[in-house]
């Protein structure tokens, strides 16, 4: 097998427990986003547009839907004879097997897969962020800096910096220090979970890390700090475009609302950088004579008889007469009856909201209401319907 310039390893095994009921039966990267996509479509489409033709997708938690979705990679033009997409779950070898203990261990367990391609560089990606990024520019930067590792960073608001892995750099953006979720951040350059390594270097670090019984086998907590300790050349690659961690119900909802701006910072309909997805096959959406739709994103397969205001509707959503959906995200195959009121909510796939039901709290201070998959919401007070 000929050597590859670079390949990507996509960490898609996370449970995403902060997404609550959304990830009971689903790995976080498989969570629907933007009306027709799943979160993993964003890094996979980035790979395609950046000219990466080999992607290992590391899965672990609830892999069924994710594995099925990624398939042979054809939606992202990654169905190749040599390379393409490979789904890599934990496996048993001669000496037994184990679950992926951490992000670094997940890659360690797949050293053989990477060695097959003998790449010069390995790009490590996480499967839970919404962004469009040309990784090839990062590679150019990495090569130009003669770096041993390059970490993509984005400036986050100072008050949020303590939620992220924070880079402290010198004037040249050379990383001098890495603080994982620091209480008192010294900078607001947050790691985007996008790492580019020279494979030979990384390989050695992974092997050493595995021998260290005290390590949690994680890139952010172990590999990066160890490399810094060894005075390796690590550089921060600044990214100035839209990037959103959609790891919480609130941020997932907010990222959807961002799409509804008149000139959104993140455009799904960018013809130069299409987001590829496994397309479910549905007819065009039907907007009935009684419907009203404003400031919304609606996908194919929907039949709308009610009022949709400032919301995102995924495919095959049915909305009955007299219903109102406001400031909400409706995931695939949801059936909404008549005279339903939904506000500031996320309704997961396959839910049924019966006639007259009310979901969500309109108060801006209230939490976003989340209805998990396959739920049926009934109207507790069927005779009396008040909407206020």
> Bridge partners of 370?
346
Q: How far is the CB of 55 from other proteins (least distance, A)?
A: 18
Q: How far is the CB of 320 from other proteins (least distance, A)?
A: 12
Q: How far is the CB of 319 from other proteins (least distance, A)?
A: 12
Query: What six digits make up the tokens of 85?
Result: 């997409």
- In order of 193, 302, 334, the CA distances from 284 in angstroms are 37, 8, 16
293 and 237 Cβ atoms separated by less than 8 Å = no
Q: How far is the CB of 80 from other proteins (least distance, A)?
A: 14
Q: Strands 243-245, 37-38: parallel, antiparallel or unpaired by DSSP?
A: unpaired
- Is residue 100 annotated as involved in ligand binding? yes
Alpha-carbon gap, residue 335 to 255, rounded angstroms? 23
Nearer to other proteins, 176 or 288 (CB): 288
Closest by Cα among 367, 365, 324, 330 to 342: 324
Burial class (CB in 10 A: 0-12, 13-18, 19+), 87: buried
Q: How many residues does the chain have?
A: 388
Alpha-carbon gap, residue 375 to 362, rounded angstroms? 21
Alpha-carbon gap, residue 196 to 7, rounded angstroms? 10
- Is residue 220 annotated as involved in ligand binding? no
Alpha-carbon gap, residue 115 to 142, rounded angstroms? 21
Nearer to other proteins, 48 or 150 (CB): 48
Burial class (CB in 10 A: 0-12, 13-18, 19+), 343: buried
Nearer to other proteins, 155 or 294 (CB): 294
Q: Give the footprint of other proteins on this chain (CB under 8 A).
A: 34-36, 74, 262, 268-269, 274-277, 279, 281-300, 303, 308, 312-313
Nearer to other proteins, 320 or 356 (CB): 320
Nearer to other proteins, 52 or 277 (CB): 277
Q: How far is the CB of 75 from other proteins (least distance, A)?
A: 8
> Bridge partners of 197?
122, 149
246 and 39 Cβ atoms separated by less than 8 Å = yes
Nearer to other proteins, 97 or 283 (CB): 283
Q: How far is the CB of 281 from other proteins (least distance, A)?
A: 5
- Is residue 4 annotated as involved in ligand binding? no
Q: How far is the CB of 4 from other proteins (least distance, A)?
A: 25
Query: What six digits make up the tokens of 76?
Result: 């992202």
Closest by Cα among 33, 42, 35, 36 to 12: 42
Nearer to other proteins, 219 or 276 (CB): 276
Which residues participate in the annotated binding site? 100, 165, 180-181, 191
Which residues participate in the annotated binding site for alpha-D-glucose 1-phosphate? 100, 165, 180-181, 191
């Amino acid at each position: 097998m000929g050597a590859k310039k670079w390949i990507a390893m996509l960490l898609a095994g996370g449970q995403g427990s902060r997404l609550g009921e959304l990830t009971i039966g689903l790995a976080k990267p498989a969570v629907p986003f933007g009306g027709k996509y799943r979160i993993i479509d964003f890094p996979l489409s980035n790979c395609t547009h950046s000219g990466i033709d080999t992607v290992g997708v590391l899965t672990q938690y609830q892999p069924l839907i994710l594995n099925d979705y990624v398939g042979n990679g054809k939606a992202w033009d990654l169905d190749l004879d040599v390379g393409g997409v490979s789904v890599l779950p934990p496996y048993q070898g001669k000496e037994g097997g184990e679950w992926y203990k951490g992000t670094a261990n997940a890659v360690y367990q797949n050293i053989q897969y990477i060695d097959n391609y003998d790449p010069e560089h390995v790009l490590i990606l996480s499967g839970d962020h919404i962004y469009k990024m040309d990784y090839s520019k990062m590679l150019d930067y990495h090569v130009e800096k003669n770096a041993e590792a390059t970490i993509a960073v984005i400036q986050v608001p100072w008050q949020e910096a303590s939620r992220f892995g924070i880079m402290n750099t010198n004037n040249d953006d050379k990383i001098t220090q890495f603080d994982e979720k620091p209480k008192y951040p010294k900078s607001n350059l947050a790691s985007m979970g996008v790492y580019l390594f020279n494979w030979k270097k990384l390989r050695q670090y992974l092997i050493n890390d595995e021998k260290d019984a005290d390590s949690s086998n994680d890139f952010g907590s172990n590999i990066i700090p160890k490399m810094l300790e060894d005075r390796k050349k690590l550089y921060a690659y600044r990214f100035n475009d839209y990037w959103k961690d959609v790891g919480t119900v609130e941020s997932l909802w907010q990222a959807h609302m961002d799409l509804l701006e008149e000139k959104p910072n993140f455009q799904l309909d960018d013809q130069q950088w299409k987001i590829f997805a496994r397309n479910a096959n549905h007819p065009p959406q039907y907007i009935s004579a009684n419907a009203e739709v404003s400031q919304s994103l609606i996908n194919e397969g929907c039949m709308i008889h009610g009022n949709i205001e400032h919301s995102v509707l995924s495919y095959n959503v049915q909305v009955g007469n007299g219903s109102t959906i406001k400031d909400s995200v409706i995931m695939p195959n949801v059936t909404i009856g008549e005279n339903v009121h939904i506000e500031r909510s996320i309704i997961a796939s396959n839910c049924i909201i019966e006639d007259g039901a009310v979901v969500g709290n309109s108060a801006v201070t209230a939490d976003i209401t989340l209805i998990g998959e396959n739920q049926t919401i009934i109207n507790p007070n069927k005779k009396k319907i008040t909407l206020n």
